[in-house]
Structure formats: structure tokens, C-alpha cells
Homo-oligomer: A and B are copies of this chain.
């Protein structure tokens, strides 16, 4: 029998396809890739009898999994990594003095660093929420990962001098409409770019940050353009207070009233949602993005993802942002998600490893509307996959029978540094720990240079003296 020629064969893997309701394990498994897609998944013996390949990746002593999905990240923020933890009022008293000094050059340096970090740790899809800025899309095109770019907008004015804590936020509708139009333009221009690797959502920052008329317009635009809405929802008590003051009801009830609770919504955080509200959103067809690490550091809270899932809603995982997390690493998020929920319910059986691994792969893909393309290793899907080195000390030994220890070790023992190779859309981006598509050293050097300029600007602005961590600095605790 003549063998069919394919671009790549991955052979001899502990293969976790994530097909079906579990993890879809295949011993000595193999995958055939042609172009950007998977054309066969079976045992190594079966595929070697059917295919020849231009390139063969020997995955002996490796696990092969679908690439991990980071559904909610602010990539620019890695330039602020580590400046805002262990504080109350994280946003205003720690992050903002740095955030105000960001520039387009700082933004792109931060994005490059975050994506480099995530890619090396096995993230292949980045749901990036940023105000669109120069080179944002171009960098994702260059590095080769999959992206769901969500250009974010709000209707805040430049000038807040008359606003007092407790007032409802002022809006500048004209500026807001302009920001929304720019976001829509970006979303439409980049949706489907890079042979479909880059798609978009509309990044409405939060329901308390734009007036009602813009909320209605954004929903209409999203429906017209076929875009999901990537929105922080019930992200904290300040949002709840704003919505209650303005509309007389809590955020979830308000969003329900204006027709936002449906399959088009990716609801980020839900930190301040009650269990009943989480169930309501979970039953509506909407999805949730869960950022365990960030919300623990910023708020000391565990969002209601467990109950959201029990209500039938799909949950994706996100690393949020490095100025309050402090890393862009889905292995970290999987571990924290499993452990925080065990603690929340005082029950070690809650959120077992396999469920969390599904949230980072196939369930996460469903949450962001891409489950027909990614999230599992099956014929017809895009070839987004990672190789994990099982001979790393912290993943050793490999036990297979009667109990297979690999999935628990991915969630509870791995750190992401065991990711040996990464393929997206059939193209190797990382091979034997080397990033192939960008210059890692240049990205690190650029981030350091931009960060030093950033902190000089922060230092030059006397507002920095009010930062709450200045006391810890003065006392020698940092």
C-alpha cells in the first residue's frame, strides 16, 4: 500500500486528545498534520503504516496535548509585573501610576514579553483585551500564536476633576463613540487575519464604563458583525455600586434586561456575582472567563466558576495581567483554579485535574466560540499542540497502570517550564525549548529598556508618592 505524504508526524506520544468527556488518552499515540490541520489521530503503529512525512517529531517520553487557551489576558501589563500585590485598592493605589505612563512602545514591549512567556509555557491561544495600539495585531501575526484580539473601549472622559468617590462615573459620549468606532474598525479589519489564526471579539470594558445607549449600540454591532462581546462582568463591588446607582439593579439583572445574557457574551471574572447570579448567567448560554490567580491576589476571592459550570455554562481560564497575578501561564492558572475551589468548598474532590485540564483546552475553546477549530486533537481541527517533557524531575516518574499519574501531574506538579515544543496551525513555534519565530533575547532586552524608561516617568510624576507600596519600600520589605 502506498503511504500518503503529510507535512508532519508526531509519534510515540502519551497522547491526550481531549476527545469525548474525559482526556482521550492514547498510549504510544501519533498525529498526522497536513498544512494547518490534523488529518489523522491514532496509535503510532497505525499512522506509520498509513503515512510518510517531511518532518517527524519523536515524542518519546513526552505527553502531547492540545495547546492551552488563555481566554483573558492584558498582554501589555507584563511591563508592570510585580508592582502591585498585597494591597487593597490595587487599581488606584498601586497599578494606576504605572498604567498612566504607558506608551505605544511600552505597550508592544509588554505584549511581546507576555506572549513569549505564555508561548514557552504552552499557551497557543491568547484572548487579548487591550485598547488597540500600533503593532498589536502585527506581532501576533509574526510570532505565530493564535489570538482572539478584543479591542477594548469605554466612554470615560479625560478629565475627572469634579468626580468624587461614590458619584456615578462621568461619561464623554463623543469620545466613547469614537473609541467604540475604532474598536469596531480594528475588530472587523483583523477578524480572520493570518489565515484565520487571528479572530476578534468586541472588547467592551465593562457595563458601568459606557452609557446605556452605547451598550445597546455595541450589542447591535456585535450581532451585525458576528463578534462575541468580551466584557468584564460583575468584576467588583465598585461596578455593582455604579450599576445599582445608575439603573437601580445589580449588574447581572441589568445585563439580562438589556439583552446581553446570551451565547455572544464572554463574561470575565464574575467576582461580585452571587451564586444565584452565576447560575443565571451560566444557564443563559453565556461563557465565563475565570482568572483565579489575579482575583486571589487583587481581591482575595474565588469567583463562582464551580457553580457556573454546574449550571451548564462553559468556563475558560485566563491569566489576566502580570501587574496583579504575576505571570502569564496557564499551568499556574490550572493549579490555582483546582486548589482554590477545593478550599472554597472545603472538598478535595471539587475541580479534579481532568476538569481543569478541559477548561484550559476543549471547554475553554467552547467558551470562546472556537471549539470547532481548536481545543482537542481530532481530525479536521487545527494542529495546535504542545509536547511536555515527562522526564523533568517534577513530572517523574511516569506511572501508567493501575493509575495513570500524568493528568494530575500536569495540573498539580507542572510549572510550564516542561513544555518542550509548541505547534500552532501546523507550524512549530517552539522546538526543544527554542523559540523559532521571534528573537527571545531581543524581546527581553526591549522589555527591560522600556520598563526602565517607564519607571523613570513614574518617578518623575509626584503622584507616585501616594502609592501604597511606597511604605513597604521604605521599610525594606521589597
Residues of A that sit less than 8 Å from B by CB = 20-25, 78-83, 85-88, 90, 113, 116-117, 120-121, 293, 296-302, 322, 325-329, 332, 336, 338-340, 342-350, 352-354, 391, 393-409, 412-413, 415-417, 440, 443-444, 447-448, 450-452, 455, 458-459, 464-465, 467, 469-470, 472-473, 475-478
Contacts and interface: CB of A to CB of B under 8 A. Distances in A.
Contact of A296 (B22, B339, B403, B413): B339
Contacts of A329: 394, 415
A478 B332 CA distance: 19
Contacts of A395: 81
A469 B402 CA distance: 9
B393 A117 contact: yes
A413 B81 contact: yes
Given A301-B346, A342-B300, A406 B88 contact: no
A402 B348 contact: no
A398 B402 CA distance: 47
B398 A448 contact: yes
B447 A396 contact: yes
Nearest to A411: B85
Given A412-B326, A416-B415, A451-B397, A24 B476 contact: yes
Contacts of A296: 339, 342-343, 348
A79 B459 CA distance: 51
Copies of the protein in its oligomer = 2
A448 to B, nearest CB: 5
A125 B475 CA distance: 28
A396 B344 CA distance: 32
A403 B300 contact: no
A87 B113 CA distance: 38
A415 B327 CA distance: 10
Given A413-B327, A477-B352, A393 B340 contact: no
Nearest to A300: B342
Nearest to A323: B405
Given A87-B348, A340-B339, A412-B325, A472 B402 contact: no
Given A81-B399, A86-B349, A396-B444, 16 more contacts: A23-B478, A24-B476, A25-B476, A79-B397, A82-B403, A86-B338, A113-B393, A296-B339, A296-B348, A297-B348, A299-B348, A302-B343, A326-B409, A343-B344, A402-B473, A406-B478
A410 to B, nearest CB: 9
Nearest to A94: B403
Contacts of A116: 393
A298 B408 CA distance: 13
A400 B25 CA distance: 47
A404 B452 CA distance: 12
Contacts of A80: 399
A472 B404 CA distance: 10
Contact of A407 (B340, B396, B451, B477): B477
Contacts of A407: 477-478
Contacts of A353: 85-86, 478
Contacts of A87: 348-349
Contact of A81 (B121, B344, B397): B397
28 contacts: A20-B476, A22-B475, A23-B476, A23-B477, A81-B399, A81-B413, A82-B406, A82-B412, A85-B348, A296-B342, A296-B343, A298-B348, A299-B348, A300-B350, A301-B346, A326-B413, A327-B412, A336-B339, A354-B478, A396-B447, A397-B447, A397-B450, A397-B451, A399-B455, A402-B465, A402-B467, A403-B455, A415-B415
Contacts of A344: 343
Given A402-B464, A473-B403, A478-B406, A394 B348 contact: no
Contacts of A464: 402
